[in-house]
C-alpha cells in the first residue's frame, strides 16, 4: 500500500494534491512519501521482531539525503557501495556502527574512508580485496569486522541484469570455496571475521530462491563455526520485489519474506542484517510528467511527455513496466485507447511503454509513473542536457524540494573550457 491515492478527482501525495506540487516546482519531478517509506521500514522491523536484527537500507535505491536521514531517524542502518554513499550516510548522521560497506570493487581509498569514519562491517567479495583491506587496516593499526559475500549459485528468477547469485555473476566467492577463504581471512592481520554475507539479486518475486540461498548459509554457518570462526552476524542482502504491474500476482510480502528468514536461519543465534532497497523506496515515489504533445503517427498515437529515459531509465534499460496514470482521475466509463508513451530524447529507445491503454489525454495534462521511488532519480542522467529532475518529499500536508532542478546556466558553467583552447 502506498500513499498516492485519488481524492476529489485528483491524485494526492499523502495530503497534498499532485498538481499543487507541479505548480510549485514545474515538471517533471519525483515525489516521495514519508508515510510510505516509514511503513515499509516498519514492516520489516515487525516481520523480524524477536530476532536481533538491523535493517540496512540499501541506499543505492534512493540516496537522497532526506531519505537517508529519514532511514536513520527510523533506527535503520544503511548498506553503502561507494565512497560517495558512505559520505552520504555520514552526512545524514548515520553512526558508523550502522553502516555496512558492500560492493565488488572497493578501492583502498574507500576502505580508508570507512575505517577512519567508522563502519559496522565490510563485506568482502574476493581474495585480492581481502588482502587490500588487511593491508589498509594493518597500516592504520585497526581491526575491522568483516563478512565474506558468498555466491550460492542460486537462480533468483529475476531479470538477468539484476541477478547476482549465480556462479557466472561477478559477485562474491563461490560458496564451495568458503571454508578455504574464511581460513585465509582469519589469518590476515587487521581483519576480524564476524559473519557471512549473501545477496542473490533484485526484484525477486518468488521466495524459493531465498529459501535455497539462506538454507545454504545456515549450513555454512554451522560448518564455519565448527572450523573455529565466530559467526555472529548474517547479512542476508536485499532484493525483495515490488508489484510494478498491479494486474500481476502480488509478490511476497515483507512478512512472508521475514518468515523465510526465521525458518532458515532464525535458530542460529545470529544477528540478522537485511539490505532492502527497492521494497522500501520503490512504491514510495512517483515520477510526475506533463504531456507536451499528442502526436498521431501511422497507426499509432504517441504521448510525448516532458520526462524521458534520462529521468527514468528502467523501461529502456530493462524493458521494465511502470504503471502510468493520469493525475486527473479518469471519469467512470471513459474509453481507454492505446498510446506509445515516449520522451523527447533523440533515441527510439526513449520509450516508456508501447500500446499502453490510457484514458483520453491532451497537451498539458499531468501523468504519474508509479513505483518510481527506487532506481529512478539515482539512475538519472543529463543526457541531451536535460537538467536532473527535482525531488520533492511529502509528509502529511507539507512538502519540500529535497533536490532542486539545476538551471541551464548552472549546467553550462559546471564545465570548464581551458584557457588555452
Ligand atoms: C549487496 C546488495 N544489497 C542490497 C541490494 C538491494 O536490492 P533491492 O533494492 O532489490 O532490495 C542490492 C541490489 O541489488 C545489492 O547489490
Ligand atoms: N537498477 C536496478 C536494480 C539494481 C539492483 C542493484 N543491486 C533496477 O532498476 O531494477
Same domain, residue pair 25 and 107: no
What are 57-112's pLDDT values in tens digits? Answer: 999 999 999 999 999 999 999 999 999 999 999 999 999 999 999 999 999 999 99
Residue 51 lies in a domain: no
Same domain, residue pair 270 and 299: no
Same domain, residue pair 289 and 363: yes
Same domain, residue pair 226 and 352: no
Residue ranges at the known binding site for substrate: 278, 314, 318, 347, 375
Same domain, residue pair 164 and 219: yes
Listed residues 248, 276, 304: the one ending a domain: 276
Q: Please list the alpha-helical segments (H only) found in 48-118.
A: 65-73, 83-91, 108-117
247 pLDDT exceeds 80?
Answer: no
Distance (Å) from CA 255 to ligand 2 centroid: 22
Q: Which atom of ligand 1 is nearest to the CA of 282?
A: 9
What are 198-216's pLDDT values in tens digits? Answer: 999 999 999 999 999 999 9
Same domain, residue pair 268 and 321: no
DSSP element (H, E) containing 227? none
CB burial string 120-157: b at 16+ within 10 A, e below? bbbbbbbbebbebbbebbeeeeeebbbbbbbbbbbebe
Residue 57 lies in a domain: no
Same domain, residue pair 189 and 134: yes
Residue 408 lies in a domain: yes
Residue 178 lies in a domain: yes
Do the beta carbons of residue 411 and residue 404 sit within 8 Å?
A: no
- How far apart are the C-alpha atoms of 295 and 310, rounded to whole Å? 21
Q: Which atom of ligand 2 is nearest to the CA of 238?
A: 7
260 pLDDT exceeds 90?
Answer: yes
Indicate the pTM of the whole model: 0.97
- How far apart are the C-alpha atoms of 295 and 41, rounded to whole Å? 42
Residue 420 lies in a domain: no
Listed residues 276, 307, 327: the one ending a domain: 276
Q: Enumerate the β-bridge partners of residue 304.
A: 293, 342
Q: What mean pLDDT, rounded, does the chain reach? A: 96
Residue 166 lies in a domain: yes
CA angle at 18 for the pair 372 and 374, rounded to the nearest 5° = 15
Distances in whole angstroms, Cα of residue 108 to Cα of each of 102, 114, 143, 191: 14, 10, 15, 14
Q: Which atom of ligand 1 is nearest to the CA of 275?
A: 4
Residue 117 lies in a domain: yes
Residue 96 lies in a domain: yes
Q: Which of 50, 270, 202, 167 is nearest to 210 (CA)?
A: 202
pLDDT given at position 302: 98
pLDDT given at position 147: 98
248 pLDDT exceeds 80?
Answer: no
Same domain, residue pair 400 and 346: yes
411 Cβ neighbours under 8 A, 6+ residues apart: 382, 385, 387
Beta strands in 182-321 (DSSP E): 191-197, 233-235, 271-274, 285-296, 301-305
The ligand with the least distance to the CA atom of 162 is 2
DSSP string, 17-42: EHHHHHHHH-SSEEEEEHHHHHHHHH
Interface ipTM above 0.90:
yes
Across 374-398, average pLDDT = 98
323 Cβ neighbours under 8 A, 6+ residues apart: 244, 245, 246, 369, 370, 371
The ligand with the least distance to the CA atom of 279 is 1
pLDDT given at position 161: 82
What are 21-66's pLDDT values in tens digits? Answer: 999 999 999 999 999 999 999 999 999 999 999 999 999 999 999 9
What are 150-189's pLDDT values in tens digits? Answer: 999 998 888 888 878 877 788 899 999 999 999 999 999 9
Site to substitute for ligand 1 among 166, 202, 280, most atoms within 8 A of C-beta: 202
- How far apart are the C-alpha atoms of 221 and 227, rounded to whole Å? 10
Q: Which domain holds residue 307?
A: 4-31+282-414
Do the beta carbons of residue 154 and residue 206 sit within 8 Å?
A: no
Same domain, residue pair 113 and 238: yes
Give the confidence band of 377 by pLDDT, cuts at 50, 70, 90.
very high
CATH code of the domain covering residue 143: 3.20.20.10
pLDDT given at position 188: 98
295 Cβ neighbours under 8 A, 6+ residues apart: 301, 302, 304
Which cell numbers hold the place of 15? 495530503
Residue ranges at the known binding site: 239, 275-278, 314, 318, 347, 375
- How far apart are the C-alpha atoms of 279 and 40, rounded to whole Å? 7
Same domain, residue pair 261 and 289: no
Do the beta carbons of residue 363 and residue 402 sit within 8 Å?
A: no
Q: What percent of the chain has pLDDT over 70?
A: 100
Same domain, residue pair 261 and 310: no
Q: Any catalytic annotation for residue 346?
A: yes
Listed residues 276, 311, 334: the one ending a domain: 276
CATH code of the domain covering residue 289: 2.40.37.10
415 Cβ neighbours under 8 A, 6+ residues apart: none
Q: Specify the number of domains making up the chain.
A: 2
pLDDT given at position 339: 98
Same domain, residue pair 83 and 211: yes
Q: Which of 247, 250, 282 is nearest to 357 (CA)?
A: 247
Amino acid at each position: 500500500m502506498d500513499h498516492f491515492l485519488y481524492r476529489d478527482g485528483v491524485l494526492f501525495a499523502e495530503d497534498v494534491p499532485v498538481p499543487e506540487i507541479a505548480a510549485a516546482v514545474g515538471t517533471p519531478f519525483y515525489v516521495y512519501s514519508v508515510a510510505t517509506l516509514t511503513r515499509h521500514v516498519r514492516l520489516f522491523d515487525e516481520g523480524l521482531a524477536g530476532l536481533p536484527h538491523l535493517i540496512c537500507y540499501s541506499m543505492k535505491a534512493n540516496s537522497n539525503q532526506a531519505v537517508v536521514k529519514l532511514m536513520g531517524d527510523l533506527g535503520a542502518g544503511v548498506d553503502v557501495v561507494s565512497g560517495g554513499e558512505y559520505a552520504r550516510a555520514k552526512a545524514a548522521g548515520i553512526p558508523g556502527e550502522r553502516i555496512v560497506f558492500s560492493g565488488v570493487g572497493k578501492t583502498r581509498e574507500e576502505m580508508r574512508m570507512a575505517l577512519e569514519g567508522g563502519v559496522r562491517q565490510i563485506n568482502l567479495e574476493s581474495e585480492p580485496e581481502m588482502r587490500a583491506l588487511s593491508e589498509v587496516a594493518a597500516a592504520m593499526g585497526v581491526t575491522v569486522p568483516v563478512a565474506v559475500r558468498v555466491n550460492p549459485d542460486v537462480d533468483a528468477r529475476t531479470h538477468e541484469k539484476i541477478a547476482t547469485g549465480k556462479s557466472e555473476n561477478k559477485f562474491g566467492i563461490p560458496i564451495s570455496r568458503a571454508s578455504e577463504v574464511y581460513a585465509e581471512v582469519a589469518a590476515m592481520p587487521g581483519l576480524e571475521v564476524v559473519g557471512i554475507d549473501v545477496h542473490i539479486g533484485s526484484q525477486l518475486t518468488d521466495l524459493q530462491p531465498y529459501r535455497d540461498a539462506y538454507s545454504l548459509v545456515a549450513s555454512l554457518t554451522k560448518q564455519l563455526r565448527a572450523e573455529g570462526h565466530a559467526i555472529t552476524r548474517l547479512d542476508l542482502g536485499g532484493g525483495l520485489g515490488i508489484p510494478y504491474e498491479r494486474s500481476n500476482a502480488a509478490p511476497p510480502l515483507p512478512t512472508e519474506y521475514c518468515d523465510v528468514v526465521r525458518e532458515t536461519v532464525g535458530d542460529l543465534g545470529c544477528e540478522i542484517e537485511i539490505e532492502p532497497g527497492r521494497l522500501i523506496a520503490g512504491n514510495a515515489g512517483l515520477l510526475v510528467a506533463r504531456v507536451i504533445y499528442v502526436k498521431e503517427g501511422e497507426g499509432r498515437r504517441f504521448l510525448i511527455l516532458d520526462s524521458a529515459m534520462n529521468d527514468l531509465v528502467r523501461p529502456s534499460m530493462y524493458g521494465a513496466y511502470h504503471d502510468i496514470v493520469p493525475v486527473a482521475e479518469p471519469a467512470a466509463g471513459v474509453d481507454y485507447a492505446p498510446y506509445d508513451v515516449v520522451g523527447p530524447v533523440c533515441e527510439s529507445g526513449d520509450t516508456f511503454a508501447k500500446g499502453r491503454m490510457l484514458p483520453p489525454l491532451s497537451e498539458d495534462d499531468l501523468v504519474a509513473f508509479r513505483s518510481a521511488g527506487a532506481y529512478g532519480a539515482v539512475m538519472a542522467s543529463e543526457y541531451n542536457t536535460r537538467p536532473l529532475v527535482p525531488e520533492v518529499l511529502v509528509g502529511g500536508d507539507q512538502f519540500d524540494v529535497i533536490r532542486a532542478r539545476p538551471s541551464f546556466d548552472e549546467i553550462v558553467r559546471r564545465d570548464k573550457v581551458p584557457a588555452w583552447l
